Structure 1
Amino acid sequence: MEINILGPFTAQDHGVSIVPSAAKPRQLLALLALHADRVVTVSTLMEELWGESIPRSAATTLQTYILQLRRKIADALVDDPTRQAKDVLETRHGSYILNVGLGTLDYMKFEQLVESGRRAAAVGDHQGASQQYGQALALWRGPALVDVRVGSVLELEALRLEERRMSALERRIEADLEIGRHAELIPELRVLVAQQPLNENFCAQLMVALQGAGNPWRALEAYQRLRSCLVRELGLEPSVKLQRIQQAVLTGRPVG
């Protein structure tokens, strides 16, 4: 089985899609896929599908959705005598589990690459770290589950994944700064700072890149823009880290 959730949701077995077109069964499969090879309780599934307004018919309706998913899976397994739909989408006591086994899941591959990047950075291999983080980020084809209607459970999972993506992006940029790609990073960082004007990490990285590329006055401009946004929107001054970078730029000391 091949599952992709880092963008449009796809799930295939033997090259055949098992994703329903109907919204709620699609939502159900997305939640099971996101917890592949792990049990998901009926109560969690109901919370995702109906929130706090769970109808009296919820249990019966959920079973109907499960049967619909198993039919899709059975169609994909028509030429595979070794597996049955009920074994792929298995019923456990008060829960269900989507057994993927040796299948591929893009979000798991993402996490593995991020961990490889972290290990490379920890031993000073910034080139390797940049490559691993870059490969992880390349798996993203848009916002996670962009074409799935999400309830309270999937909404939190999508937010968690987005935070992981942003963390990987920051780490990849940090690795690129370590290997001296200051000028190359400036256009990308300008876009990120414009998109997230209150993000101090991206501003700090932009300041480092600008100073490293020989534009200290532009680094100070970036600091002032962030400070203005923070004061105006939150009534806060930049963090100590940002202030130290500003002072280093003002005195001509390296900040990277």
Structure 2
Amino acid sequence: MRYRVLGALELRDGDGWTSLGPAKWRTLLAVLLCHANQTVSTERLLDELWGEDRAPQSATKLLQTYVSRLRQTLGDEAGQTLITEKQGYKAQGYRLAVEAAEFDAHRFEQLVEEGRRSLDREAPETAAERLREALAMWRGAPFADVPPTPAVATEATRLEECRLQAVDARIDADLGCGRHTAVLGELEALTAEHPFREELRGRLMLALYRSGRQADALAAYRDLHRLLSEELGVEPTPPLRGLHERILNADASLMAPRAPEADRPAPAAPRRAPVAPANCRPPAPRSPGVMARSR
């Protein structure tokens, strides 16, 4: 069985994705997925399904019915996937056993971590590929068709923040690959949506500067400076002020890295290839990173 929550809650067992019908079933599965591979107590499930003060007298029996129906849907009548944790003969809670490859949220976070590690190793092409694959898994708001509960709302907020961080990292990777022009429109839209995010503003400034728009990069900084001063009464952080100073001084080290060797045309073969010492070729210049690495 496979599960998707980066959008509507869906299951896949065979060829197609399907959704659970009744809202209480979706809520139960969503809460168990929020705590995948962890035991969720019966009391916690009752609170999530009905609220602390609204559970009917038959709530415990209803929960057992929902668990039974969910097991039927999962093809898990033996209770090997949706596991009952017991004390004596009484159910104390339930645990949903989930492999990372079966759950889109877990797989998304795996890919994001792989992308970040590639960025740390200064392999932006690989990082961009992993991060694009991760972001392509999103179909909408997390748990889009699940009634809100404390656990679901908390996990949805966390996943949305993870998505924003993945977008940031993917833009870093694209900038590291010299794709500053390609990401400009996206950066402008994200900055308008999140005007107080300084690291995002720094990426926009860098992309504008690398695109030959120094004046626009400086204007982007002034807009943020005014916004922070008027709304919060604070100054931009030292890293952003440092980037502004470097752009103001037309720091050449901020310019885009050279395109990868595979993207450059091969030079024409010389008529005579002189023999040179193995160490005569100067090392390739290191590519400057985005704001966080260029301080």
TM-score (norm 1): 0.88
Asked if structure 2 preserves the Cα contact closer than 8 Å seen for 1:51 and 1:152, the reply is no
Quote how far apart the aligned CAs of 1:16 are.
Answer: 6.9
In the TM superposition, what are the counterparts of 1:54-203 in structure 2 within 5 Å? Answer: 54-55=54-55, 57=57, 58-73=59-74, 77=75, 84=77, 86-93=79-86, 94-100=92-98, 104-203=102-201
1:21 matched to 2:46? The reply is no
Residue identity (%)? 37
Distance 1:34 1:89 in 2: 14
What secondary structure, in the 3-state scheme, does the structure 1 residue paired with 2:79 have?
Answer: helix
What secondary structure, in the 3-state scheme, does the structure 2 residue paired with 1:86 have?
Answer: coil
Rg larger for: 2
Amino acid paired to 1:40 = V
Asked if structure 1 preserves the Cα contact closer than 8 Å seen for 2:101 and 2:107, the reply is no
Amino acid paired to 1:230 = L
Quote how far apart the aligned CAs of 1:158 are.
Answer: 0.8
Amino acid paired to 2:36 = A
Gaps of 5+ in 2: 87-91, 255-289, 291-295
Asked if structure 1 preserves the Cα contact closer than 8 Å seen for 2:100 and 2:106, the reply is no
Distance 1:26 1:98 in 2: 14
Asked if structure 2 preserves the Cα contact closer than 8 Å seen for 1:19 and 1:29, the reply is no
TM-score (norm 2): 0.77
Asked if structure 1 preserves the Cα contact closer than 8 Å seen for 2:9 and 2:144, the reply is yes
**Aligned residue in 2 for 1:44:** 44
The alignment yields a C-alpha RMSD, in angstroms, of: 2.1
Distance 2:54 2:196 in 1: 39
User: Higher RCO, 1 or 2 (CA under 8 Å, sep at least 6)?
Assistant: 1
Quote how far apart the aligned CAs of 1:242 are.
Answer: 1.3
In terms of mean alpha carbon deviation, does 64-73 or 205-214 score higher? 64-73
What secondary structure, in the 3-state scheme, does the structure 2 residue paired with 1:158 have?
Answer: helix
Asked if structure 2 preserves the Cα contact closer than 8 Å seen for 1:3 and 1:105, the reply is yes
> Number of paired residues?
248
Distance 1:138 1:17 in 2: 17
Asked if structure 1 preserves the Cα contact closer than 8 Å seen for 2:46 and 2:55, the reply is no
Distance 1:101 1:200 in 2: 37
Amino acid paired to 2:28 = L
Amino acid paired to 1:11 = L
